[in-house]
Amino acid sequence: MAKGVTIRWGQHGEGRVVTLPCRPSVSGSSEGTAALPQLIADCTPATFGHDGKDVYDPSYRLAGAMSAQDFTTDFCPYETGIIDMITQILMRWRGLRAELYKLNVYSGPSGMFKSHVDTPRGEKQVGSLVVCLPVAFQGGGLAVRHGGQQIVHEWSTFMTDEAASCVQWAAFYSDCEHEVLPVIEGHRVTLTYNLYLAHGTGLLAQGEWGIGGLQPAQLPLSQHLRDLLLAKPVLMPNGGYLGFDLTHLYPHTHPSLHAFVPQMLKGADLAVYEAVQAAGLTCVLGGCRNDHHFEQIDILDKLDAQDRRRRRNEVTGWGREAMVNALTPLRVDDSGDYHEQEVPLEESFDEVEVSKVKDLRARVAIRERITWVNVSGHDAAKELSFAGLAYGNQAELKVRYSNVALVAKVPNAAERGLKVV
Ligand SMILES: O=C(O)CCC(=O)C(=O)O
Ligand SMILES: [Fe+2]
């Protein structure tokens, strides 16, 4: 670990600093071995939640604690990639926000925290992250239990300089019981973070602190949609469907990646999705509306079913699951050619096999039931796909990116609380 982890704390005018692992004292500075005992001395006895109260009981928890507002650190779990790893493993691509909670010190010969489940801090908390800083200690395993299974994270450094120079970490879901086994010798210094479910990894997609976050309801499109839904005379009194051609290309021809497109929405497309959600509309992602490629015959049925489920409160509306993904992998043959089923114009239906006409009419009918909001005049939207080639011993078509459309269901006037005169 090249840089070390710096902790700064102390009252105004009495600021202190330690960089871990402790290096030989720099003369005249508090940085060095003397600063660590000071950090430990400045911690207060750690309490824990019991029956809704903070309790101090050294027979259950023997540790020191410093609250996040009383120190700063340059250690960043995002920068080190820890949050990305947790997001992938524990959250299956949903976003996660880590909030520094406490610094704790469990010291030998008996520092420990008996078996407990962390008190959730807010309904979006999904887990905890413990980061063990590079200070030498023995014992102090972190046992995490779930479903009759146990994992013990042994971070003990056995006093070797090499082991004591690493940052080690573990993350677990909030419902996992865990325990800090007794520290035999040395000091086990940890940073704990609360992990919250978020729209995206990091802070930008969160409006919770009232700053910086994207507020989808404030997006101009969201306001226009709400005005449209409440307009007089009533537009679409019997309800209907609004279609948006998305502006970016997505790998929905890929056999498995197509399932992730809702989580991959980019830039303006994400804003369209957020705005549609904020306006209270249910939506579905489907193939491009281009005349030749509108593949999903059942797209509107899927949308209607999702909307009914949402109205019955079976879908919470949280996260990307609220959008139906009707994308299916498009067929790409061995030569990499993409087989679209062309939908000819109605006039030329007689040239098509009779058996196909019913299906083709259904596709045309679906396109016509959707009111398209944006007219995709630009070439990129007309160009149906763009192939990314990867070269191995033979040119192999890896991923093909194609246009995608988002279709939102407009409820009827009564469902919108409007009277039709
Ligand atoms: O330090 C650890 O490994 C876990 C600490 C813990 O369980 C807590 O602070 O709630
Ligand atoms: Fe805990």
Q: Which ipTM score applies to this complex?
A: 0.99
Counting ligands in written order, the one closest to the CA of 132 is: 1
Same domain, yes or no: 301 and 232: yes
Does residue 418 lie in a domain region?
no
Among 172, 198, 224, the domain-final residue is 198
Same domain, yes or no: 292 and 155: no
pLDDT of residue 393: 35
Q: What is the pLDDT of residues 44-85, one digit of tens each?
A: 999 998 888 889 999 999 999 999 999 999 999 999 989 988
Atom of ligand 1 nearest to the CA of 142: 3
pLDDT of residue 98: 94
Atom of ligand 1 nearest to the CA of 102: 9
Q: Which helix (H) or strand (E) holds 406?
A: strand 404-410
Does residue 417 lie in a domain region?
no
Range of the domain at 376: 216-410
pLDDT-derived band at 215 (thresholds 50, 70, 90) equals low
Does residue 57 lie in a domain region?
yes
Counting ligands in written order, the one closest to the CA of 112 is: 1
Same domain, yes or no: 68 and 146: yes
Kindly state the average pLDDT of the residues 350-362. Answer: 64
pLDDT-derived band at 106 (thresholds 50, 70, 90) equals very high
Same domain, yes or no: 287 and 365: yes
pLDDT of residue 284: 87
On average, the pLDDT of the chain sits at 77
Same domain, yes or no: 327 and 382: yes
Compute the distance from residue 146 Cα to the ligand 2 centre, in Å.
14
pLDDT-derived band at 125 (thresholds 50, 70, 90) equals confident
Instruction: Give 111: exposed, middle or buried? Use CB within 10 Å, 0-12, 13-18, 19+.
Output: buried
Compute the distance from residue 78 Cα to the ligand 1 centre, in Å.
20
Where would I find the beta strands (DSSP E) of 24-163? 44-45, 48-50, 53-55, 61-62, 64-67, 71-73, 95-107, 112-116, 125-132, 137-139, 142-146, 149-153
What percentage of residues in the chain have a pLDDT greater than 70? 66
Does residue 416 lie in a domain region?
no
Higher pLDDT, 345 or 153: 153
Q: Which residues of 364-389 are buried (b: 16+ CB within 10 A; e: fewer)?
A: bebeeebeebeebeeeebeebbeeee
CATH number at residue 25: 2.60.120
304: left (phi over 0), alpha (psi -120 to 50) or beta: alpha
pLDDT of residue 172: 92
* Torsion sign over Cα 184, 187, 188, 194: positive
Higher pLDDT, 134 or 278: 134
Same domain, yes or no: 226 and 354: yes
Same domain, yes or no: 176 and 241: no
Atom of ligand 1 nearest to the CA of 153: 3
Ligand 1 shell residues, CB under 6 Å: 104, 113, 118, 130, 142, 178, 180, 190, 192
Compute the distance from residue 16 Cα to the ligand 2 centre, in Å.
27
Does residue 419 lie in a domain region?
no
Q: Is the pLDDT of residue 10 over 50?
A: yes
16-30, 222-236, 244-258, range with greatest mean pLDDT: 222-236
The Cα 185–Cα 62 span in angstroms is 14
Same domain, yes or no: 44 and 185: yes
Kindly state the average pLDDT of the residues 321-345. Answer: 54
How many domains would you assign to the chain?
Answer: 2
Same domain, yes or no: 167 and 316: no
Q: Is the pLDDT of residue 91 over 80?
A: no
Atom of ligand 1 nearest to the CA of 190: 1
pLDDT-derived band at 247 (thresholds 50, 70, 90) equals confident
pLDDT-derived band at 380 (thresholds 50, 70, 90) equals very low
pLDDT of residue 390: 35
Q: What is the pLDDT of residues 275-287, one digit of tens each?
A: 888 888 998 888 7
Same domain, yes or no: 310 and 189: no
Same domain, yes or no: 355 and 261: yes
pLDDT of residue 24: 56
Same domain, yes or no: 144 and 59: yes
